[in-house]
Structure 1
Amino acid sequence: MQNVAATVLAQYAASPRLNALIGSFNEAVSPDKFVDDFYDLIWNIETAETYGLDMWGKIVDVSRRLTVDDDFNYLGFSEARLDTPTRTDPRPFDQAPFYSGESTTQTIELADPIYRRLIMMKAMSNITDCSIPNINRMLRYMFGDRGRAYIQNDGGMKMSYVFEFELSTAELAIVQSSGALPAPPGINVSIIQKA
């Protein structure tokens, strides 16, 4: 609160009505609460709420609404498997359906806590040099409480994001469509889930 009494002329300083009027006006137009609310709800990413996070999302260019493709396993054969079996490998008869030719997608809206982490990860992605240690640091920030997530150099201009846990629908949407996972230019990127 500002000291408005210092702005009143000395001859009016003892007037209770004038001082009350000036005090109530100062309280009504004081930006103190607005500035505090602005800082807490919009500017400070750690305490920002829905509207503030949406503003930060626009700044770093990442949306709260993401599209996720189905990651359903379809019928396949053993020769299609990778060297290291993963959860998304093809499945034999009686364990997976035939592929119908249609891919199903859904749009999800991220909750504030995971969207906050995505915004921070996208901000890191915007300024990273795409070195393996920096990308691994970003993955630990985003998925560290869920399990191991890391980069694997596959050689021949290929790399993989490896997740040693099953991704939730929101995490899968982040991996597939957020654009927050960086990759060096010209590198073929794949996603491996080991569950």
Structure 2
Amino acid sequence: MRLTHCLLWEHEEAAELLSLLVSKGAWYDAEHDRFWSDWVRDVFDLRTANAFGCSVWARILAVRLDLIAPATIGPSFGFGANNRNFGRGNFGRRVPGRVGLSVEQQRLVLRARYLQLISRGTVPEINRILQILVGDRGPAWVIDNHDMTTTVFLGFAPDSQLRQILDNFPLIPVPAGVQVNYQFAVQPAWGFGDDNLNFEHGGFAE
């Protein structure tokens, strides 16, 4: 920001005023740039948004960022007669309750919702969405079973956070009435090369 442009001609020789305006302009430039770069990182970009940014997107996309945790069935793990843990409670839940998602889970849910809104739900589009959402974890693709169901294959074992999302949120866009099933690779397929190919050009795994 060139604040020196605001100087009147009779003040151009005022060295102290000129120095003050130069310093203030440099401060504005640094803080203005930092504000907008932080805004893009923390709010605008769903790949890097923080908790505040995710809450903003949740309102825009009308998505809840928590899930219902069921009551614990059976005895709860703990110590002593009342199964107490170190915080004087136990590792169980007497009644159903809401559990918040981690920031990483929130980003995944919000990105999935955004992609659902701009997709027609075709197989090629779903495959592209899977690459965007989980492609960094391993191979993923969808198959239309032609019986009002689709099957999503994940060529990796999802961790507990991803599995929680798959069990409680719609991750991919499908037409109304179409059921989504998931199949996971519990261990890497044996084969040769980057794609684990065997002699018949496939991997030794179902």
Pairing 1:149–2:140 present: yes
Mapped to 2, the partners of 1:191 and 1:38 lie a distance apart of 36
Q: Which residue of 1 aligns with 2:197?
A: none
Change (3 A) 1:154 1:172: same
Unaligned runs of 5+ in 2: 72-95, 187-206
The answer to which of 9-18 and 41-50 deviates more is 41-50
Q: Which residue of 1 aligns with 2:99?
A: 107
1:113-192 superposed matches below 5 A = 115-192=106-183
User: Could you report, residue by residue, the CA deviation over 1:35-93 in whole angstroms, capped at 9, with x for unpaired residues?
Assistant: 333234322344443323432343334444345779xxxxxxxxxxxxxxxxxxxxxxx
TM-score normalised to the size of structure 2? 0.60
Mapped to 2, the partners of 1:141 and 1:69 lie a distance apart of 31
SS of equivalent residue, structure 1 residue 19: helix
Q: Which residue of 2 aligns with 1:3?
A: 2
SS of equivalent residue, structure 1 residue 167: coil
Mapped to 2, the partners of 1:68 and 1:173 lie a distance apart of 11
Cα distance, 1:179 vs. partner?
A: 2.7
Mapped to 1, the partners of 2:21 and 2:14 lie a distance apart of 11
TM-score normalised to the size of structure 1? 0.63
Change (3 A) 1:163 1:43: closer
Q: Which residue of 2 aligns with 1:35?
A: 36
Pairing 1:13–2:4 present: no
1:49-128 superposed matches below 5 A = 49-67=50-68, 107=99, 109-112=101-104, 115-128=106-119
* Percentage identity across paired residues of the two chains: 21
Unaligned runs of 5+ in 1: 71-103
The answer to which of 173-182 and 41-50 deviates more is 41-50
The answer to which of 6-15 and 60-69 deviates more is 60-69
2:142–2:151: 8 Å Cα contact kept in structure 1? yes
2:120–2:173: 8 Å Cα contact kept in structure 1? no
Mapped to 1, the partners of 2:147 and 2:39 lie a distance apart of 49
User: Could you report, residue by residue, the CA deviation over 1:13-53 in whole angstroms, capped at 9, with x for unpaired residues?
Assistant: 21133234444554566634323332343223444433234
Change (3 A) 1:38 1:105: closer
RMSD over aligned CA atoms reads 3.4
> Comparing both chains, which one has the higher relative contact order based on Cα–Cα distances under 8 Å and sequence gaps of 6 or more?
1
